[in-house]
Amino acid sequence: MDWLQQLNDAFHDCDDLTVRSYGDGEVTLYYFDRLLDGRQFQQIVTSFFEDNPTDVSIMRMLSTWQAVNEPSPAASERCFITSVLEGQIGAVYRSKLYTVASGGAPTRPVGVTERETLITGPHDAFIEDACTNIALLRQRLRTTHLKVKQIDIGHKCTQYVYLVYLEGKVDKSALEEINRRLQFLQMDEVMDGNTVAKHLENSPYSFFPQWYDTERPDAIASCLSLGKIALITDNSPSVMAAPARFLEFFASTGDAYERWHFSVFIRFLRLAAFMLSIMFSAFYVAVTTYHYQFIPATLLKTIVSSRSSVPFDPMIEALLMEFVIELLREAGVRLPTKIGQTIGIVGGLVIGQAVVQAGLAGNVLIVSVAAGALSSFIVPNYTMETSLRLLRFVAILLAGFLGYFGLMVFFIVFIVHLCHLRSINREYIYLNGVPFYMFLTRSLMPQSVAHPATDVVAGDGSKHEMKSEVQSCHQHAKPGE
């Protein structure tokens, strides 16, 4: 039989595959023991044949296991093989192929995110199972307008991605564009949602991320309510959302649970920290190399005395210390949590003091580099924070070669690039003729998060009706109202 030969060829050398025949070979089951409770399944099937030695109905046999659904005919041998690889049970009965949905592969329970910890707000996080992640979103957005579209992007094997959006709020042209790009995307292996998102970016060579990534379900639920599209993949605890805006990477999910005054203040603080982190070391290099006249006399004496024994040019000195900071940062990430924190703190103190005593760097530069590193930690999004680390080196090089003029060139290119950048053909930093202060205010104070809640309670104490359908679905009318 052609289909039998195809199955044997496909599962050749798959020693973890379990193949069992029952009823004199009339029924043959294919399944991976590690993807389901094989012992329980085997016990039930064996007891069934002991009690019913003549009845080998595939429908009755498989239905005796409570964890499986009714079997359905497989469309082809390829679908049969794909279903078995996904953790389903494949059954061959009277030369016909069936698949039965099982409990699936083991997954870890919903836990707490370690990358985006908050003091207030929910603490659940996405896991590596796409179905569980979709369920977490449906718990928050209990509306039939929440749509999920499954797309196969696998080339040599089946690889599913899921597009999640709110019908009626989603940008339809952006949704069509993502669909179009996914149709042309063929990947042999999908390890993470970030991998897929990188192939969908308008400018893959840009330093800046064009998809917003997070591990928090409430953050993605907020993105969906604003008309964005979420991209969910298996084996990834991160969910991507697009179109993304530059200043959205400086907004934390916890801002929604704080007073609006503090939310606005902390967002301005993060944006300022982003710019200062780029400028601290670069400004030091430009001043000490070309522009001593801009430094007050007292501070100039301090800088000169701190650099009196340093044999390097200020640019080399700054690059060396930035490189040491990156080494400490990576060591803290790769080592176990408690050891990594100790290495980061103790290593920074010991190395900083040793470098100054050895005359390899000045005290003022150590303070500048430390302030820049500390400012970078304020950025809540890890992907944007990694971009910041690269930009710091570019700014130092330009400041070392061109001084203040190099910094001016850096910021001009920086702003022009941001204005030119697109996320799914949407502006990354959008002005559209709006004055800059209005643009900044609107970006830092989105309507759904950071503004006084004056539209909910009227002056007489009566509640206004929520306009958002997603929010209104959570409201329950009380008896007598």
Residue 254 tokens read as: 């916890």
Instruction: For tokens 């930009």, name the residue.
Output: 391
Distances (CA, A) of 177 to 167, 229, 239, 419: 16, 11, 19, 20
Compute the half-sphere exposure of residue 269: CA atoms within 13 Å on the CB side of its CA.
Answer: 13
DSSP state letters, 42-70: HHHHHHHHHH-SS---HHHHHHTSTTS--
- Spatial CA neighbour of 33 closest among 21, 46, 45, 42: 42
At 178, the amino acid letter reads: I
Q: Which ranges of the chain have pLDDT less than 70?
A: 1-3, 23-25, 37-75, 94, 101-106, 154-158, 188, 336-346, 430-481
Task: State the Cα–Cα distance between residues 395 and 274, nearest whole angstrom.
Answer: 13
Distances (CA, A) of 229 to 18, 180, 385: 40, 14, 23
Task: State the Cα–Cα distance between residues 396 and 412, nearest whole angstrom.
Answer: 15
Compute the half-sphere exposure of residue 78: CA atoms within 13 Å on the CB side of its CA.
Answer: 3
pLDDT for position 361: 80
Residue 362, Cβ density class (10 Å: 0-12 exposed, 13-18 middle, ≥19 buried): buried
Task: State the Cα–Cα distance between residues 123 and 95, nearest whole angstrom.
Answer: 50
pLDDT for position 408: 92
pLDDT for position 435: 40
Distances (CA, A) of 18 to 33, 34, 38: 6, 10, 9
Residue 466 tokens read as: 């929520």
pLDDT (tens digit per residue) in 459-476: 444 444 434 443 444 444
* 3-state secondary structure at position 446: coil
* 3-state secondary structure at position 279: helix
Backbone angles phi, psi at 14, to 5 degrees: -95, 85
pLDDT for position 395: 92
pLDDT for position 337: 66
Task: State the Cα–Cα distance between residues 400 and 29, nearest whole angstrom.
Answer: 69
pLDDT for position 2: 66
Residue 89, Cβ density class (10 Å: 0-12 exposed, 13-18 middle, ≥19 buried): buried
Domain ranges of the chain: 2-100, 130-244, 256-441
pLDDT for position 164: 92
pLDDT (tens digit per residue) in 359-381: 778 888 888 888 888 888 888 88
pLDDT for position 375: 87
Instruction: For tokens 């800046």, name the residue.
Output: 208
Helix ranges restricted to H, 143-259: 172-184, 193-199, 217-225
- Spatial CA neighbour of 65 closest among 104, 85, 37, 105: 37
Whole-structure pTM value: 0.74
Give the length of the chain.
481
